[in-house]
Structure 1
């Protein structure tokens, strides 16, 4: 039983930002690290296009994206990038959309209610689980989320994607890329947003296309109309200028410079391997703590599917199980609210559509010591909340 007289911890996290998006800025970030020469200039000027192209080139270098893949900056964050891929590519073949948390379900709704392609299969699983992906036919186009941002469940591998697949894969990687290895040979359209693992400013999405995806876009025209911000073809061919520093609409150059600064920081600390290692170390601290805490469990039952970014945890035990539904929801809400007011930790309550939970972002921009310092505060706050609700 938790001691309700648990003493208040002494050490506070230096950075209290544990949100799962936008995530914490990289260590040492400040506005004066951003280049400002392009501010007030057209994004179509030589300088503007050069800075956008530099962001694309750094992305390729750090992520190790194959040379024959194209990388574009597109509007409307990861949502815009996923929907651009879906609206341009789906409808040519049977489609399977797989989802196991909130954002994946958005792509299901796009397919079911908006695009309505023929031969549509929906694979769903509850929070913390992943559907049986091996049942997906290799002839299908597939839409899936690599890492469940709101559940903490990631795919453990890409063995279920056939090397000789006939369809294309559309991968929402926004809470996985830069923290988990991407199997580029199995990915045709990969998307993410700047404000997730790299902690940059929101608003823009990244779209990474394989040669197979390029061929699909150029050989197929969907039956539905495309909004302007989804149009990536010119004279029947992919408009490659979008992938060389031009953009479909006006980007924020301030946000672009912030993204560039985060990529330069990543390069300075050792690149992708160190980004992965930082997230792994942070997540291990939280996973080990959950396993050692009797009133807490990981939302994901299978350790092979545990994320190293947004770790989600739910409460358990006789005391918690005896609470009303409203009081069960109050436990994480009150813990997060209490530590927010104290300036200890911000924005780590579980996602609004998820089961009552806490979600600690462990991505690459978070410092290991800050994670260590947060956990005793959660224990202390839990003791206070338990006393209040008992």
Structure 2
């Protein structure tokens, strides 16, 4: 049964993310002692039976929650999605005449493109640059002679999200850092999914890789061991010492996901939270959304005040209401209310009430 604990603040942080209270409680207890083993989680061997079981359970929960096919490996590695930009490219781009196709939807996909260019030719098949990344590019053609196609599913800075993934004639790779586990996906549509844990999955420190084993080892290039997904898979995510606390936090969070009804229930909750906030943004004349309506992110709604002279008053009001973390990214300004899985709809209602109060007293 889900534990109800009143939050001290309403946490809209873009990452590290809000986590369920019961996850925080059990994770904190593990620092002193893990499950009566007499040792702290962070001081016991990663080769010990208790942690090996944690790693295995975490990987199995990913498989269960996302219905991962048997020919895919589930890995918990390090380096964040920013290292994933390079890992994804080096494991799929051919050594001789390598070529990859990317969509550019903002800061993070631009970073992925930059890393891939270190290894071979990169073709940008769709870009949102002309509209300041407020729309998701559509109607592009993915070249059939590319080694792979890369897409970013959700863009935390601009607040856009891919609603329908294209059919790719080549292996499709996806950075799902900020919306994995938030909605139903068909894993078999992708040959690699990677995601930093710190948005929807747990504390910062580990990165999830879900990879089609049949597509690895075909680049003809030498890959450094730590970046080689085949070698990592052969060692069950423990080629070196894994980030034990981050993996444990992810395991606990996925147990919570399962306990409340899995991805179907989370998607339902996330749609309700997004509707509540976007409806107020659209109704209230003091606010305006910043992205194309059809591409609005369920995870990271972005909006601005229509009258900037109200900024100081609005900021004071939401802070006094216990709202935290809604300032927009430093590169774009405005406001961003990140609403990851563990954020309760009651917190969204608090923010909406502040927006209404501002309108009533303007």
TM-score normalised by length of structure 1: 0.79
Q: Deviations over 1:262-284 (max 9, x none)?
A: 11111111111111111111111
Give the deviation of 1:177 after TM superposition. Answer: 1.1
Structure-2 residue corresponding to 1:286: 277
Determine helix, strand or coil for the equivalent of 2:143.
Answer: coil
In structure 2, C-alpha distance between the alignment counterparts of 1:155 and 1:70, rounded to whole Å? 24
Give the deviation of 1:227 after TM superposition. Answer: 4.6
In structure 1, C-alpha distance between the alignment counterparts of 2:24 and 2:154, rounded to whole Å? 29
In structure 2, C-alpha distance between the alignment counterparts of 1:365 and 1:24, rounded to whole Å? 6
Structure-2 residue corresponding to 1:150: 157
Question: Mapping of 1:129-148 within 5 angstroms?
Answer: 129-140=135-146, 141-148=148-155
Relative to 1, partners in 2 of residues 1:248 and 1:82: Cα closer, same or farther, differing over 3 Å? farther
Please say if residues 81 and 206 of structure 1, whose CA atoms lie closer than 8 Å, have aligned partners that are also in contact: no
Q: 1:98 aligns with which of 97, 103, 110?
A: 103
Q: Deviations over 1:12-35 (max 9, x none)?
A: 975421111111111444333555
Q: Deviations over 1:320-376 (max 9, x none)?
A: 5xxxxxx8xxx76x578535753622121111223x321112222010111101122
Please say if residues 85 and 111 of structure 2, whose CA atoms lie closer than 8 Å, have aligned partners that are also in contact: no
Please say if residues 82 and 111 of structure 2, whose CA atoms lie closer than 8 Å, have aligned partners that are also in contact: no
Relative to 1, partners in 2 of residues 1:168 and 1:378: Cα closer, same or farther, differing over 3 Å? same
Question: Mapping of 1:309-320 within 5 angstroms?
Answer: 309-316=299-306, 319-320=307-308
Structure-2 residue corresponding to 1:108: 113
Relative to 1, partners in 2 of residues 1:149 and 1:218: Cα closer, same or farther, differing over 3 Å? same
Structure-2 residue corresponding to 1:229: 226
Please say if residues 80 and 205 of structure 1, whose CA atoms lie closer than 8 Å, have aligned partners that are also in contact: no
TM-score normalised by length of structure 2: 0.85
Structure-2 residue corresponding to 1:346: 324
Structure-2 residue corresponding to 1:65: 68
Please say if residues 88 and 221 of structure 1, whose CA atoms lie closer than 8 Å, have aligned partners that are also in contact: no
Please say if residues 17 and 346 of structure 1, whose CA atoms lie closer than 8 Å, have aligned partners that are also in contact: yes
In structure 1, C-alpha distance between the alignment counterparts of 2:205 and 2:318, rounded to whole Å? 25
Give the deviation of 1:194 after TM superposition. Answer: 1.7
Relative to 1, partners in 2 of residues 1:106 and 1:307: Cα closer, same or farther, differing over 3 Å? same
- Which has the bigger relative contact order, CA under 8 A and spacing at least 6? 1
Structure-2 residue corresponding to 1:241: 234
Determine helix, strand or coil for the equivalent of 2:337.
Answer: strand
Q: Deviations over 1:152-194 (max 9, x none)?
A: 2111212x223xx1x2111001112111222323211101122
In structure 2, C-alpha distance between the alignment counterparts of 1:297 and 1:349, rounded to whole Å? 15
Structure-2 residue corresponding to 1:297: 288
Structure-2 residue corresponding to 1:277: 268
Please say if residues 340 and 347 of structure 1, whose CA atoms lie closer than 8 Å, have aligned partners that are also in contact: no
Q: 2:185 aligns with which of 182, 187, 194?
A: 182
Determine helix, strand or coil for the equivalent of 1:98.
Answer: strand
Q: How many residues align?
A: 342
Question: Mapping of 1:1-390 within 5 angstroms?
Answer: 15-32=9-26, 35=30, 36=34, 37=37, 38-91=41-94, 93-112=98-117, 114-115=118-119, 117-118=120-121, 120-121=123-124, 123-125=126-128, 126-140=132-146, 141-158=148-165, 160-162=166-168, 165=169, 167-198=170-201, 200-210=202-212, 214-222=213-221, 226-234=223-231, 239-242=232-235, 244=236, 246-303=237-294, 305-316=295-306, 319-320=307-308, 334=312, 338=316, 342=320, 344-354=322-332, 356-380=333-357
Give the deviation of 1:382 after TM superposition. Answer: 8.0
Q: Deviations over 1:34-81 (max 9, x none)?
A: 551444211123332221111111111112212221110111122233
In structure 2, C-alpha distance between the alignment counterparts of 1:188 and 1:335, rounded to whole Å? 48
Structure 1 stretch 55-64 or stretch 371-380: which is displaced more? 371-380
In structure 2, C-alpha distance between the alignment counterparts of 1:230 and 1:380, rounded to whole Å? 51
In structure 2, C-alpha distance between the alignment counterparts of 1:27 and 1:181, rounded to whole Å? 24
